[in-house]
Structures are given as structure tokens and as C-alpha cells.
Chains A and B, each alone.
Chain A
Amino acid sequence: MDDFTLGLLTNVGLFSFLALSAYLLLLAGEMSFGQQAFFGVGAYAGGILTTLYGVPLPLAALAAMGLGALAAFLVGLPTLRLKGLYFAMATLAAAEIARLLFELLHFQREIEGELAGPDGTQGFRGIRWIFEQGIEAQEFLLLTYALLALVLAALLLVERSRLGVTLRSVGEDPELAAALGVNVNRFKLGVAASAGALAALGGVLFAHHNTFIEPRNFDIMLGVHSLAYALIGGLGTALGPLLGVALDIGVLEGSRIFGGARMIVFGGLVAVLLVLRPRGLLDEALVHCITSRALQRR
């Protein structure tokens, strides 16, 4: 595999975590414009831990996920009772606050004769744990997809369980869910925290894959992209968001046939697609149809 394909495939994997994070909240009936904040929290926290304190990546990832979950919990606490656009705007504001705080974050130390650490708008250079450990790009790709497979398996299991039913019912009709004995607010907080942890995990991997991060990596564009991935791919199954990411990064970045007009083609495609399938390619009806057929055959 050449470097270009490797980088592309890794990026598909990395942004899938963010898309799944947005998807999880969409299932619970909340549209967040701010998941990129937790991706950023993960990236910065993970990068600081491995680069400045020499913490091994697995431990740093766990800590970053904890921090991402905590941040998402704190943002969710006052905002999750807001409806629709209000929640979307509150999360957008929170994410922009996070991005602007990254711009104010100066925390540099001398590591092996060189200054390392976040330097405000100049970004955070030299997150080199992967290279110091001699991990090849291919191995990192495998690691990313192994983690993604793990997350995906967990999500698919959850969707088949009682928990998944609760999740969708909270999203579809919170009053009914509450009447059936679900503590909707607490449940949504749990979902938000898990989605935050998921985004943070993606962020840690992103930081270590890129070795350089800067505040504007985590701007509103990234957030709306992750929402769009989930909505284009479909809300019927956790595979939907992955399809969305693969479509955008994989097919369009990979194919250079459209040259400079790539986004024009892709943008038009998405708009038309949403007219034909407003709930995405793999929507609930299609997923239900496929699974029930598969069950019949058995």
C-alpha cells in the first residue's frame, strides 16, 4: 500500500469515531453540532500525556476518553433538556468555546532540547509517540480499525439489546419512554458521556496519526461533517455513519477524476440523495427489511 492510500484509510477510520459519536446522540433524539469539541479534548489531552509526560498511548487514550466523557457530561447537564435547534446551538457554542480555549492554551515544556506542547494558535507540534515506539503506519492503521471494530461490535450488540430499544424509544418519543419508567434525562446524559468518550478516542488517534494538531482542526466544519456522515449513511444501523465517512473521504478523496470540482460533485450528490432518502442510505426501513429477510431464511 502506498502512503496516500494508507493515510486515506486511516483517516476514514479516525473520523468514523466522530461520526459514530454524532450518530449515538441522533439515536437519542439530539442533534449535536459540538462533537468536534470532545474530539479536540481527546486530541489535546492524549497528546499532552504522551508527549509531555511520557505516558504510554493506551493509558493516555483511556484518560482522554474519561476526560471527553466528563466534558460531554458537563456540557450535557445544562443543555440536554433543550429542544431541537436550541440544543444544536448550545452544543455549537460549547464547541466554539472549546476551540477558542485551545487557542489560549499555552503549555510548553522542553523535551529533549526542543519545546513541545500546545502553543495557542501555533498549534501543538511533535506528538511523536508512535514513531518513538517504532510503530509502522500499517500497524497504526490496523490498531485504528481494530478499535473501530470493537466499538462497532459493542454498538451493534447494544442495538440488539433492551438498551438499544430504550435508546431508540427515548429518541422517538421521550414522553412515552418516561411513562414506561425510563429516566430520560439521566439516560440522555449517559448517552452524551459515551458519545463524548467515543469522540475523544478518535481525537487521541487523530493527534498521534497527524503528530501536529491546531485549534482550527476542531472547528464547526468538522462538527457539521460528522453530523452529515451519520445522516447521509443512515440512522438505521451503526454501519450507516461508516458508510457516510467512507463515501466522503474514501470515494471522493480517493478518486481524483473530478479534479478541483470534487466538492461540487459531492455536495450536489448529497443534496439529491437527501431528497430521495431523507433519513440516509441505510435508513430504519431498509435495515428492518434486510434483517427480517435474513431472519426468515434461517
Chain B
Amino acid sequence: MLLDLLQNTIDGAAAGASYALLAVGFTLIFGVLRRVNLSYGPAVMIGCYAATWLHLNFQSGLIVLALAAVAGTVLAGAYVERLCFAPHRSGSAIAAMVASFALWMQFEELATLVLPRHVYAFPLLHEGAPVEFLGLSLRPDALAVLGVAAILCALLQGLLHRTRFGLAVRATIENPHAASLAGIDPGRIFVLIFALASAIGGIAGFLIVATHGQVTPMLGMWATLKGLLAMMLGGLGSLRGAIVGALVLGQIEAHSQWFLGPQWRDLVAYLLLFALLAANPSWMTRWTISRSAS
């Protein structure tokens, strides 16, 4: 029993780590642009489809596939930024969100046009059986995901709080107009943050499909929902909050699946989100990226 609990916690942490990367990318865009990008997950899916296409046609190695996933996601992200967010920068947030939904439709159709089957196999990060340790089964690839997520989050924290670029980003979040008076070009920051968030999404996507071993067109909706859910669970627009929210989400899913059954896994997560929002705890509305420094 205790062993099961521990095993679930480990599995949940591995899932939570991949959610954390998705949520961090989502939060970067939301925190800086104050816009919800529904196309975030679908852009990640495009990156993964680019990698799958390379895998099918050229049997490329894992490193090439990872690079392709990142490049594909960044390209798709750039397209989303140009068409949905650049034109609505000072305008309607809702229009930007609906436009990003329209591009989601495009991405899904594009993916199924290029690779029409419902499921494609993707090479695994680690072939073979999990390592047995004190009665627990540890998957090396899941541990790798945990490690990569931790390193990336630390790097991002450093980038935002230790560099001039990070300072410019935080200044833009605080007040874009004042930032532009100080010589910062908010438009440039928006584009760079979009690219950064997309690159993180691409890495997340690659890690997710390389541990699951398959790619489907549902990946887009799945990634958007998990990213949104983790971001909301951890407050809104705070990087630390997003990471905490993602880890909590991973734990909730793993444990509710074990105790209540697979059908309850998502239900419990949504019930918790609904209850949190209905209770409207003030910490959910107070956190922002810049304040997470303190």
C-alpha cells in the first residue's frame, strides 16, 4: 500500500514535470502579453508532427528529432504571433483568443493532411524495461524528463532575474508604456517571449511524445488543456505558481487514477479547479511573474 502510494507519487511527478514545461510556456505568453493563446498546444503538436515526419522519412536520430520539434513549434508559434497577437496588441483580448482558436483549426487540419493516420509511433527515449529499485519501478526516461524540466525552469528563472533581457521583460510586464520610455521595445519583447515560450513548448512536446511513444492529432488540445489547467491551479501568470500547479496536477491525476479509477482522473482535477475558482482565493489573483521574485 505504502509502496503503491510512493509509486504513484513518482509517476505523478514525472507527468507533472512535463505539465510544468507546458504550463511555463503558457504562463510566459499570458504573463507578458495578457492574452490566452489557445493555439499553444496545437503549435506544440505541429512541432511533434514535424519530428514524426522526419522520423518516418529519414529515420533521424533523437537529437535531430528534438531539434525539429523545437524548430517546428517556434515556426508555428511565430505564425500565431504574427496573425493573432501582433494585430491585437492594443485591441481586444477576446479577438486575439478567438483568432488563436481559428489557427488551432488550421494546425489540426494541416497535421492530418501531412500524416493522415490517427496514431503514429514515435521512437522512445529509453527502450527496455524500467529499473527496479526497492520494489519501485523507475523509468529512466521519466527521470530524464524530471531533470530536463528542473534545469529548464532554473535557467528560465535565471534569465528573467539575472539578465538585462529579463529586466526588460519584467519592466514590460509591469508597464509596457513606461518600458518603451526607458528605451525598451515592447513589440520586440513580445516576439522574443513568444519564441522562447514556443521553444520550451517544443522541448516539452518532444519529451512527452518520446516517453509516450506515439503522436496523435489530439496532442494539440491535450497540451493546451493541461497547460491552462496547471496555470490556473497555480494562480495566473506566475512562473512558480505554474510549476507548483503542474506538479499538483500530476499528483492529483496519478493518485485519483489509482484510488478511484481512470475515469475519475480528469474529473478530480477539474472539480478541484472549479472549487478553487468558486472559492476565489485571493492568492490566485495576486501572483504575477515579476512578483514571484520576492
Contacts and interface: CB of A to CB of B under 8 A. Distances in A.
B91 interface: yes
A228 B278 contact: no
A33 to B, nearest CB: 10
Contact of A264 (B88, B106, B221): B106
Given A31-B94, A231-B95, A278 B109 contact: no
Given A31-B94, A231-B95, A278-B91, A267 B277 contact: no
B273 A89 contact: yes
Interface in A165-217: none
B151 interface: no
A86 B102 CA distance: 22
Interface residues of B, number: 41
Which interface class (under 10, 10 to 19, 20 to 34, 35 or more) fits A?
35 or more
A263 B109 contact: yes
A104 B5 CA distance: 25
B92 to A, nearest CB: 5
Given A89-B228, A228-B102, A279 B95 contact: yes
Question: Helix, strand, loop or mixed for chain A's interface?
Answer: helix
A90 B274 contact: yes
Contacts of A275: 83, 87-88, 99
Given A31-B94, A275-B99, A94 B274 contact: yes
B165 interface: no
A31 B87 CA distance: 21
> Which residue, of B91, B109, B110, B277, has the highest number of chain A Cβ atoms within 10 A?
B277
A90 B277 contact: yes
B280 interface: yes
A227 B98 contact: yes
A263 B99 contact: no
Given A90-B278, A268-B83, 15 more contacts: A89-B228, A89-B273, A89-B277, A90-B274, A90-B277, A96-B270, A97-B267, A231-B95, A263-B106, A266-B105, A267-B102, A271-B84, A274-B84, A275-B88, A279-B92
